[in-house]
Structure 1
Amino acid sequence: MKRSKINAEKHAIFLLVKTEKGKGFIEKISKYKRFWKIVGNFMVIVGVLGMFFMLFSLINAIYLTYFKNIPAMKTQLLIPGYTIPLWYGLFAFVTIVVVHEFSHGILARAEDIPIKSLGVFFAFVIPLGAFVEPEEEVFNKKPWLSQLRVYSAGSFANLFLAVIVLFALTPLAMHAFFQSEGVQVVNVVKGSPAYGVLERGDMIMDIRGTPIKNFKDFYENLKQLKPGEKIKVTTERGSFILTLAPRKDDPKRGFIGIETFLPVKKGIFHIVNFLPLDLISLFRWVFFLNFIVGLVNLLPIHFGVAATDGHHILRIILNRFMRNVRAEKFSSAISIFIGLVILLNLIKPPL
């Protein structure tokens, strides 16, 4: 019986654990080389378009916030256990790194680039990510389009997984939009007006005397709420009075402090009534985090030894039009610019 080698390398507080496990799976999937090269071309197109979309979105957010005085959407770092639920975040993290790195490996082998190892890297005992290590000399000798295919594969895989999860949930949500019987509470924000009053699983039937039949009714009602206002919320358990707090992203609007889901009344999608709320929430986080990470990874960012796939994609494209040294300097300058743009999106704009 053949055993896979497992090697560990320590670098300060970081630990890299390398293995050959998974290489056989990659070999089986990547043997359809013609197919993967065609798909890889599409991945490159999506990657480049995604990069420009993210650049436009960040710059547009700066323009609206600092020059038009339009309040920006709340931006924060996504940290499992702090800004997102711990176990949802960790599970979504696993899906992100697995599909991302295996996709890099599959496209690398489809381009006849050998894989030295696969692995996981840790800070102390905390897993930070995974990696696929190709033969760098072989990779660097490959045509520019082959390199682009490999670098574009990771983000594309995350976005593709997000779309699959979205399509799995959308029919349920769309059906519920038209045929539902209230809006169901799936989470109550700690410290919010609803905390300790409403519960997970509560079915909201009425707000301020207005019947809530679907999410449209719920959303239209939310838009009219003001901070300090006392509202009557009717659920299947009874009626409750809540005093609204101001929203952090828009202090002029009232904040209840709940996340909702629409239960299906009847029809072929009634299975959603039997899905645990935790499972539904889990899928939502898998969709959201894969979508966000897939797009953010397309931003051309390079700091020290760390670089996004977007940085490599941009550098390879620039190499087609200028010398390697100039392309590297230009891509680094763009990286600094993007870093400043992200920082401006994170901090509060001046009054």
Structure 2
Amino acid sequence: MAAPLSDSKKLTALLIVSISLFAAIAIFFGGLLGFYGIVALFLLFSIIFTYFVKKLTSFETHTVVTLLRTRKPLWIFDRFAHHSRLLDFLTEAGLVLGFGAIAVDYLHGRKAGGMKRAALFAFTVLFLIALLFGIDLLFNNAFSEGVLTKNFFFILSLVFGLMGFAGFTIAILAMQAVQIVSQYLVGERACPGVAPLIPGIEIPSVPVVIPAHAWISLILILIIHEAMHGIVSRKEKIPVKSTGLLLFGFIPIGGFVEPDEKKLLAAEEKKQLRVYAAGPAANLAAFAGLNIFLVAVFLLIGATIAPWANEIRDKSVAGVEIVGVQEKIEFCGKTYGSSSFGQLREGMKVNEINGKKVQRIDQITSEISSTRFQPITLTVDLNGLAEQILLVPNELGSFGFIVQNIPASDFNPPQEFLLYSQFISLFADFFGWFILLNFLLALMNFLPIPTFDGGRIAPLLLHRYLGAFNLPEEKAKKTIVKFFLYTLVSLFILNALPLFI
């Protein structure tokens, strides 16, 4: 007689069947169903999948959610938990980045007192403002020159200095909410400020589509996040009951570590804060480490393989030509001008950009990226007549022209070059999204709202500032939780309006 199937094998079989059926229907009938039809189909499959998981296995289920608990990885937490100094530094640095000068005041300022405390607070604010300027440069002036934030970048910087990424994200959500409401009041469409993060799915009104391979990044990010919670819990001598994966239907949406809640709440505040900050701190550390890794890899490629690759690229193309000129650019319900319209024409060959010779598209994109939001000068050629044209970017940083390489008719690149180009493109895209999603998940988890790590951090850090109201400690903590809950739920609703209206 055959041995009965284990729960894990039953679950695997259910996953294979559910994903295969859903994918087949979505592929063949996706055009007919549309986005909301596919969402409804997914919810139906999720309910059916979770029902069979409940009937056939012992895993814990809740309507469309399944918790896959295990104790197998817990020994890994213990193995890494002895690096106490490194873990203390990582979690406290994460706490400071998450909650700014307020966190520094809690960790060190209270002990100093008087002028030293005020000086430390002011120094932290200035240091974090300088750090935000560095982050802004890393993201090509996305905040200081962004349409939404450029007029308020100083205020954003000050908020970041005072309350770290938690305050920064709340401020961004508030700005987006104001913009969405103001656009609706004048009859304009708007892009949502928040949206579901579903790789491979194009969501209506959302101008960005996350590639399907980002599912791998998301799973790795969640592992990093939850594993660090477990490691720091064990470092602080707090037992971990289990760890595991959270499924919404048949899709993994998160991981979890389940510490002993009673012992965690009984621990001293500083230990609790380290445990709560560990997850987003690990994501920020991964964000920084991966950036360094990517820079090192491309420097190595630049010193070794790039000269060979660039030589082949130069032989593969006969120049760059303009294949499109936009009269106007529409983005999130607003229309922006195009300085290229009326100056550039299709068929023009681009010879130079800002005085630098152009042979390939990447030379144009690289120059525009390095001088983002700055005017550029193109030297173009049409029917043998050379002309210099000054172009000014619009508020989006766009010039409104489209270019493509002119293939060289007498050269076929070798197969190894084509494989190299495909690999580099996939490598850069994968790690680019991996880095960005680490950063976004850290920001989200610092938000001071229940279910996120910041929702547990904020009451511990802030309740002392309500001392003037003579509130008992527990009541002060509950007041802080309610304030941020009502504020952030309201902001989330306003930011999500364009998804439905």
Superposition TM-score, scaled by structure 2 size? 0.49
2:210 maps to which residue?
84
Fraction of identical pairs, as percent: 24
Equivalent residue runs for 1:152-191 within 5 Å: 152-171=277-296
**Paired AA for residue 79 in structure 2:** K
Equivalent residue runs for 1:258-337 within 5 Å: 275-302=423-450, 307-321=451-465, 323-337=473-487
2:112 maps to which residue?
none
The runs of 5 or more residues in structure 2 that have no matched partner are 1-6, 9-57, 100-163, 202-208, 323-348, 351-357, 382-394, 405-419, 467-472
Q: Secondary structure of the equivalent of 2:255?
A: strand
Which deviations, in whole Å up to 9, do the C-alpha atoms of 1:141-179 show, x marking residues without a partner? Answer: 1111111111111011111112222122235667999x9
Q: Secondary structure of the equivalent of 1:112?
A: coil
Equivalent residue runs for 1:240-255 within 5 Å: 254=400
**Paired AA for residue 55 in structure 1:** I
Higher strand share: 1
Asked if residue 140 in structure 1 is aligned to residue 265 in structure 2, the reply is yes
Cα 1:278–1:251 change in 2 (3 A) is closer
**Structure 1 position 319, deviation (Å):** 3.9
Cα 1:176–1:253 change in 2 (3 A) is farther
1:47 maps to which residue?
98
Aligned residues: 287
**Structure 1 position 85, deviation (Å):** 1.6
Higher helix share: 2
Superposition TM-score, scaled by structure 1 size? 0.68
**Paired AA for residue 313 in structure 1:** I
Separation in 2, partners of 1:206, 1:310: 49
**Structure 1 position 41, deviation (Å):** 2.2
Match of 1:29 among 62, 80, 87: 80
Cα 1:318–1:221 change in 2 (3 A) is closer
**Paired AA for residue 287 in structure 1:** I
Whether the 8 Å contact between 1:115 and 1:132 is mirrored in structure 2 is: yes
The runs of 5 or more residues in structure 1 that have no matched partner are 185-201, 226-230, 233-248, 259-271
Q: Secondary structure of the equivalent of 2:241?
A: strand
Asked if residue 341 in structure 1 is aligned to residue 485 in structure 2, the reply is no
**Paired AA for residue 254 in structure 1:** G
Whether the 8 Å contact between 1:116 and 1:133 is mirrored in structure 2 is: yes
Q: 136-145 or 272-281, which moves further after superposition?
A: 272-281
**Paired AA for residue 440 in structure 2:** I
Equivalent residue runs for 1:90-109 within 5 Å: 90-109=215-234
Separation in 2, partners of 1:293, 1:65: 23
Cα 1:171–1:29 change in 2 (3 A) is closer
Whether the 8 Å contact between 2:93 and 2:281 is mirrored in structure 1 is: no
Greater C-alpha radius of gyration: 2
Cα 1:11–1:137 change in 2 (3 A) is same
Which deviations, in whole Å up to 9, do the C-alpha atoms of 1:83-104 show, x marking residues without a partner? Answer: 3122x22101111110000000
Separation in 1, partners of 2:493, 2:482: 17
**Structure 1 position 57, deviation (Å):** 3.0
Cα 1:339–1:251 change in 2 (3 A) is farther
1:267 maps to which residue?
none
Q: Which has the higher contact order (CA 8 A, sep 6+)?
A: 1
Equivalent residue runs for 1:188-267 within 5 Å: 205-208=319-322, 209-210=349-350, 211=358, 213-219=363-369, 254=400, 256=402
Whether the 8 Å contact between 2:90 and 2:282 is mirrored in structure 1 is: no
**Structure 1 position 43, deviation (Å):** 2.4
Whether the 8 Å contact between 2:180 and 2:191 is mirrored in structure 1 is: no
**Paired AA for residue 287 in structure 2:** A
Q: Secondary structure of the equivalent of 2:247?
A: strand
**Paired AA for residue 81 in structure 1:** G
Whether the 8 Å contact between 1:43 and 1:152 is mirrored in structure 2 is: yes
